[in-house]
Amino acid sequence: MKIELQHEPVEKLSLPALAVYSFEEDPSSSGTARRLPSKVQKLLEDLKACGELTGKAYECTLVHQPVGMAVQKLLVVGAGKKEKFKPFHLGRLAGAAVRFLRARAVHEMAWIVGEKDGTKGIQTVTEGAVLADYDADRYRTEQRADRRVDLFALVCDKTPGSEAWAAAIAQGQAIAEATNFTRDLVNEPANQMTPTLLARHAREMAERTGLGYQELGTEEIRALKMGALWAVAQGSDEPPRLMVLRYTPEEAPEAPVIGLVGKGITFDSGGISIKPSQDMHEMKTDMAGGATMLGVMQAIAQLKPRVRVIAVVPSTENMVSGKAYRPGDVITSMSGKTIEVLNTDAEGRLALADGLAYAKQLGCTVLIDAATLTGAVMVALGNITTGVFGSDQEWVNRVISSGIETGERMWQLPVDDDYRELYKSSIADLANTGGRYGGAITAAMFVGDFAGDTPWVHMDIAGTRWSNEEKPYLAKGPTGVPVRTLVHLLMDFAK
Ligand code: BES
Ligand code: MN
Ligand code: ZN
């Protein structure tokens, strides 16, 4: 999608379509509908009178050949009630316009920049437009390539040449494209996304963007005594990989070094504690945390914030075989802590345990992990909100406020020593499960135990990695959550 600024008066725009938005209180002339010629606003008044235009959230009303304008189609998107409107909604409105028009074979469209939008607004709109112009349909032989928006023109009356605005567009585009890269990785079926193939994607991305790249295979993983990651990997015929990507800008201070650790289970059958077959196919997405960190690295390689970042993605399948680890096995993690395996389906925390220990060894001074860790977080928060946990409230707050900015919902759940009883083992340092109640918390705390004293934040994205329904502004399928939250966080932090 090409995104450009245009400075023509609204009446003279000669693109196939223009999209504006308006609120419920005044659907014919609020929002950017305010900028339409009065004759067109009169027409919208009539549509309102007969109930075709209400301003309800994401309502799309299409007007053909609007009088006194050069565009062929005018789309009015409802923005809902004004008092409920938040900055991130602007991106969703632009997204809804993109998805509505592309479904009607419109390839070039304009969007009016509001008077108060500024660079933040422009970036939000850009992100929303690029995220909306995505479908997870790579494997359909009948391609829908005709259903894409090629040109998205941002129309503003300010004078041309504003560098800050061009930068806002470039930034929004880089972030949304990185999010779409993550979505592509998450969407791949497990036969096309083994640990080896995931690592190949990571390496290619690193080479393309100039990031440092290293990868550990079976031998290195065993030599480094990553007994927890290896326990999961040993049951699979596919060899494990641990990817390390480094972003080291010269002008950045020595500290902090932010470690981004992502769970990269390319398929989670549950192992010997096998999952029911019902939704097992969804477990191809169990590498969403790892894919998130790869997307974040791609974005920051382009945006160049002044902060050092290292991504660590431990990746393996969790399979059933004669070589698979068993319930009851005791394993020794890289940190030296011993773990009694009570359930082989609690594999994510094992992979993360060694991932975090390795990130610390590489010199990370802050740890942020993302993982499709528990079904329990979906029981608590559904697939709307990511569960956030952490040992350092300042960093937790950074994640949460970044989530509020991007519209990726986050909610903090507690960590507390009183829960520690639940995952005690009678024969080892820890057990890998803590029972059904509070399952998201005990899983998070298990992971946190391997962060030790290093400030740590954990995001459980089991619910939010995927959307089962199509939204007006987003395709069904992989969401790319929480790529945008983390990139915004790193950009703001580096300022
Ligand atoms: N990958 C799953 C969690 C998951 C479930 C992600 C549904 C996305 C959708 C994880 O490895 C897992 O199996 N967790 C278990 C832990 C339990 C055995 C303690 C769970 O949540 O049931
Ligand atoms: Mn599992
Ligand atoms: Zn899993």
Asked whether residue 319 carries a pLDDT value surpassing 70, the answer given is: yes
Asked whether residue 159 carries a pLDDT value surpassing 70, the answer given is: no
Share of the chain above pLDDT 70, in %: 99
Average pLDDT over residues 177-199: 98
Residue 467, beta-bridge partner list: 477
Asked whether residue 206 carries a pLDDT value surpassing 90, the answer given is: yes
Continuous segment of H or E residues that includes residue 332 = strand 330-332
Output the pLDDT for position 115: 85
The CATH label, of 3.40.630.10, 3.30.1440.10, 1.10.357.140, 3.40.50.2300, for the domain at 175-494 is 3.40.630.10
Cα separations in angstroms, 78 against 21, 54, 94, 374: 6, 7, 11, 36
Closest ligand 1 atom to the C-alpha of 285?
Answer: 8
Asked whether residue 160 carries a pLDDT value surpassing 70, the answer given is: no
Distance 432 CA to ligand 2 centre (A): 11
Pocket, ligand 1, Cβ cutoff 6 A: 268, 282, 286, 343, 345-348, 372-376, 433, 439, 462
E strands present in 26-107: 60-64, 73-78
For CA atoms 67, 75, 106, 163, the dihedral sign is positive
Asked whether residue 413 carries a pLDDT value surpassing 80, the answer given is: yes
Sheet containing 151-155: give its strands across.
2-6, 151-155, 108-112, 17-22, 73-78, 60-64
Chain centroid to Cα 358, Å, comes to 24
Asked whether residue 466 carries a pLDDT value surpassing 90, the answer given is: yes
Q: Which fold has domain 2-158?
A: Leucine Aminopeptidase, subunit E; domain 1 (3.40.220)
Share of the chain above pLDDT 90, in %: 96
Q: Confidence band (pLDDT; 50, 70, 90) for 145?
A: low
351 exposure class (CB count in 10 Å sphere: 0-12, 13-18, 19+): buried
Token pair recorded at residue 408: 């990726």
Q: 284, 349, 465, 484: which is the annotated catalytic residue?
A: 349
Q: Catalytic: 420?
A: no
Q: What is the mean pLDDT of the chain?
A: 97
- Dist CA 459 CA 368 (whole Å): 8
**Cβ(87)–Cβ(125) below 8 Å:** no
Q: Catalytic: 263?
A: no
User: Is 175-494 in the same CATH topology as 2-158?
Assistant: no
Question: Would you tell me the crossing angle of helices 439-449 and 348-361 to the nearest 10 degrees?
Answer: 30
Output the pLDDT for position 157: 77
Q: Confidence band (pLDDT; 50, 70, 90) for 146?
A: confident
Asked whether residue 162 carries a pLDDT value surpassing 90, the answer given is: no
Q: How many CB atoms lie within 10 A of CB 103?
A: 11
Q: 34, 203, 246, 275: which is the annotated catalytic residue?
A: 275
Residue nearest to atom 9 of ligand 1 (CA): 462
Q: What is the pTM of this model?
A: 0.98
Closest ligand 1 atom to the C-alpha of 376?
Answer: 21
Closest ligand 1 atom to the C-alpha of 436?
Answer: 19
The bound ligand whose nearest atom lies closest to the alpha carbon of 373 is: 1
Asked whether residue 161 carries a pLDDT value surpassing 70, the answer given is: no
Average pLDDT over residues 365-370: 99
Distance 461 CA to ligand 2 centre (A): 13
> What are the residue ranges spanned by the domains of the chain?
2-158, 175-494
